[in-house]
Amino acid sequence: MSYLELVHLFKSYGSVMAVQDVNLQIPAGEFISLLGPSGCGKTTILRMIAGFEKTTGGSILLEGQDITHIPANRRDMGMVFQSYSLFPHMTAGQNIAFGLRVKRLSHGQQRIRVHEMLELVGLSGMGDRYPHQMSGGQQQRVALARALAISPRLLLLDEPLSALDAKVRLQLRNEIRRIQQQLDITTLFVTHDQEEALSISDRVVVMSQGRIDQAGTPEEIYLTPSTAFTASFIGAMNQIPGVWEGEQVRVSAHPNTQIPDEFLRTQTMEISNGTNVLVLVRPESITVLRPEDSIPADYNLLSGLVTSRIFLGSVVRLSVLVGEFYLNVDVPTAQAEQFTSGQVVQLGFPADQCRVLAIAPAAPQSALPHKQVRSVV
């Protein structure tokens, strides 16, 4: 049975639908991330679970108990906020002890627990510092310790790392994961950083415009996106529009050129002929072929014109104009030197690396902007 359950959850602010029909089941001990662009309703969901925001519709069940209308201070949830939220007039230790004091633990018990918590978040000996004497990262650690001290039923984290610089961020996110696993506490983590979500979650919930777009393990989300939105939001993804014709996809050539239509072989799918589809290929799945390369049988071959290159560290991302669309192609930096703008290259990618998404002809809720260039970086 699931530990936390969101059932047909709705939230509107006047005419703004912030959260629409969100259903989610979270087993105990799971680390789940809500991921999505700004304004998609992540914070709103978290705040409804915490009890800071009334629901417009639906219910929230915790261990089978309906907590939808229980006030925030009786929900027993640990929350860490995006902005620094330590009580400024209390030391780190006093901050951590606050919830324990509310619970009427004895002074001795409080002291032991505070010590334990400071150790857990790697701040032993800093209990006497005031918030203004600590760095942002340290403050968020204390906030985490304060939330965890009361042994909450859920840990809620609303972009706790977004005010920190890159290095501290990376370090702290791994530590959050370590602590979560150590305590085996069910955790909801809100972020708009996909790398963050993919790297530390058991499951990622991708959200768009108040709805859940796709939920799954990080691998599922990355490798088998089931919507155009998730495909474009997670990582770089080439999206090539075409028409499903049996075993292959017809990709229309540009009307102004004499180049014939191309056909792409893809993963096999159960789609009726004539359906409009998107072919999804990751830039790292595409190879630039040299004349001497032997070409595997299941490869799709396309030729195109290199129009630009972006250095990304370990790879160089080429933008290649193929027919009427651009493809992003990642080549290892060591081999990238030979490719320059204006050069014609031969691209190849295996059929099983091409996912196909059927798109309804007039999808009302299509998350995809209606523009011609379908390659999203």
Stretch that binds ligand ATP, among 10-18, 276-284, 299-307, 357-365 (CB under 6 A): 10-18
The tokens of 150 are what? 């009361």
Residue among 4, 6, 18, 134 that touches ligand ATP (CB under 6 A): 18
- Would you put residue 57 in left (φ > 0), alpha (ψ -120 to 50) or beta? beta
Judged by beta carbon, residue 149 or residue 320, the one nearer other proteins is 149
Euclidean distance between CA atoms 373 and 212, whole angstroms? 25
Confirm or reject binding of residue 43 to Mg ion (CB under 5 A): yes
Q: Are 48 and 60 in contact (CB under 8 A)?
A: yes
Per CB under 6 A, the segment of 33-41, 248-256, 265-273, 308-316 that binds ligand ATP is 33-41
Q: Which does 77 bind (CB under 5 to 8 A by kind): other proteins, Mg ion, ligand ATP, none?
A: other proteins
Name the DSSP class of 57: E
Q: List the alpha helices (DSSP H) in the chain.
A: 42-50, 92-102, 107-120, 136-149, 166-183, 194-200, 218-223, 228-233, 333-336
In this chain, which stretch among 12-20, 176-184, 260-268, 348-356 interacts with ligand ATP, using CB under 6 A?
A: 12-20
Instruction: Answer whether 260's CB lies under 8 Å from 250's CB.
Output: no
Which partner from the list other proteins, Mg ion, ligand ATP, none does 98 bind, CB cut-off 5 to 8 Å by kind?
other proteins
Decide whether 43 or 95 has the Cβ nearer to Mg ion: 43
Q: Which of 33, 35, 40, 81 binds other proteins (CB under 8 A)?
A: 81
Helices (H) and strands (E) in the chain, counts: 9, 21
How far lies 145's CA from each of 76, 86, 107, 206, in Å? 15, 11, 18, 28
Burial class (CB in 10 A: 0-12, 13-18, 19+), 88: exposed
Q: Which stretch binds other proteins (CB under 8 A): 50-58, 237-245, 272-280, 311-319?
A: 50-58
* Site for ligand ATP, residues 34 to 93, rule: CB under 6 A: 36, 38-44
Q: Tell whether residue 76 is a contact of other proteins (CB under 8 A).
A: yes
140 sits in the region (left: phi over 0; alpha: psi -120 to 50; else beta) called: alpha
> Is the separation of the CB atoms in 129 and 92 below 8 Å?
yes
Q: Provide, rounded to whole angstroms, the least separation between the CB of residue 190 and Mg ion.
A: 6
Query: Does the footprint of other proteins cover residue 72 (CB under 8 A)?
Result: yes
Which residues 6+ apart lie within 8 Å of 112 measured at CB?
none
Query: Contact region for Mg ion (CB under 5 A) — 39-47, 50-58, 250-258, 361-369?
Result: 39-47
Q: Nearer Cβ to other proteins, position 51 or 58?
A: 51
Nearest to 196, CA basis, from 164, 223, 148 = 164
Site for ligand ATP in 172-201 (CB under 6 A): 192
* Shortest reach from residue 189's CB to other proteins, in Å: 16
Residues at the site binding ligand ATP, with contacts judged by CB under 6 A: 13, 16, 18, 36, 38-44, 192
Residues at the site binding other proteins, with contacts judged by CB under 8 A: 50-52, 72-79, 81, 83-85, 87-89, 98-99, 102-103, 143, 146-147, 150, 152, 156
